[in-house]
A and B are shown apart, each in its own frame.
Chain A
């Protein structure tokens, strides 16, 4: 199994600012996924981040708002830009056990509160 860490674990931010969330995996993986979990809700996939290519965003999510970097096979960042209170959520990254597989390991999440 993969061990995933995220930084920060939580943060409180002011509206209009940006926050970059880091996701570190203890093994090399081609695919990484970023999810958002709004308060009391289920998880929603934001984007798929493949190393060496542009991230693929799901409907309703755009690169200007959620830019993603994937500099190597063990690391990715998600930036939440120009934040508003509606961005208050838990942000999680995950990696598949095998490339393209739906058996995935999740990070502990980053809890973001925007005031």
Chain B
């Protein structure tokens, strides 16, 4: 599985958009980009995933560059409850193993 690189930490003002970057320059053609977050003292929560097209759901938007070497998770209107560690993970659905290899993630602090 391709490795990912994320900034260690980021701050965001409440109500503003939070843009969390992720580099995955070694991603292969059949690998998806997944985003999870872990709020303090809870298990990780699935947010969104994508292959090459931009994706949006009720939680966030995922923007994947055309060369697929990087992506950005966008929380359009961050709230204090969005304070968490955000993990960008690359995985191959074709492997059928379901394994998730977590990196260190980005600690997002949403401030009032």
Contacts and interface: CB of A to CB of B under 8 A. Distances in A.
Interface of A: 4, 31, 33, 35, 41-45, 48, 92, 94, 96-97, 99-109
B98 A48 contact: yes
Interface string B39-62: 001111110010000000000000
Contact of B100 (A45, A97, A99): A45
Interface residues of B, number: 24
B76 interface: no
Contact of B101 (A31, A41, A45, A106): A45
Nearest to B48: A103
A109 B39 CA distance: 12
A102 B89 contact: yes
Interface of B: 32, 34, 41-46, 49, 87, 89, 91, 93, 95-105
Q: Which residue among B95, B102, B103 has the maximum number of chain A CB atoms within 10 Å of its CB?
A: B102
A45 B89 CA distance: 13
A31 B98 contact: yes
B72 to A, nearest CB: 19
Contacts, number: 64
Given A42-B87, A100-B93, A101-B93, A109 B99 contact: no
B96 A106 contact: no
A54 to B, nearest CB: 15
Nearest to A100: B96
B44 A102 contact: no
Given A42-B87, A108-B43, A109-B42, A102 B102 contact: no
B43 A48 contact: no
B43 A42 contact: no
A95 to B, nearest CB: 9
Contacts of A33: 98-100
Contacts of B91: 102
Contact of A100 (B97, B101, B102): B97
B49 A103 contact: yes
